[in-house]
Structure 1
């Protein structure tokens, strides 16, 4: 891959994350060194596109010098269907 191709891929990744995951992009712009993600934020029902977005989010955070920590257990947020 040429340097131009790599730069284009990086630009595409940044644009996709900013458009698709704006709150995550804002969290990465913060001064904190760590970004927390709940396990259910991506692919709680095992969607292929969500796996792709998770990878992009992690890569984006790395470009911003952030550590990503995944918390929670699978589908725990989906079990709380009731409004309190």
Structure 2
């Protein structure tokens, strides 16, 4: 396995471990946009949560899913 494929596998494993409900939703709902509140991740501006958000978006992209983040009103 090359480095890119290993990194991809690590991404998949981390999201499926840390965000199992999100991973399940991405895999089981088809042709629906994924909508997240801006506070779904990093509500208190934690750097590790920003990283996890980026990983979640990348994970969704692996399944050809679109992610939209809506602002708080």
Normalised TM-score (structure 1): 0.79
Superposition pairs for residues 1-84 of structure 1, below 5 Å? 4-29=2-27, 30-73=29-72
Q: Which runs of 5+ in 1 are unaligned?
A: 77-84
Greater radius of gyration (CA): 1
Between the aligned partners of 1:69 and 1:21, the Cα distance in structure 2 is 17
Which secondary structure does the structure 2 equivalent of 1:42 belong to?
coil
- C-alpha distance in 2 between matches for 1:37 and 1:10: 23
Q: Secondary structure at the match of 2:30?
A: coil
Number of residue equivalences: 72
Q: Could you tell me the TM-score, scaled by structure 2's length?
A: 0.90
Counterpart Cα distance in 1 of 2:21 and 2:9: 18
Distance 2:64 2:7 in 1: 18
| 3-state SS of paired residue (2:44) | coil
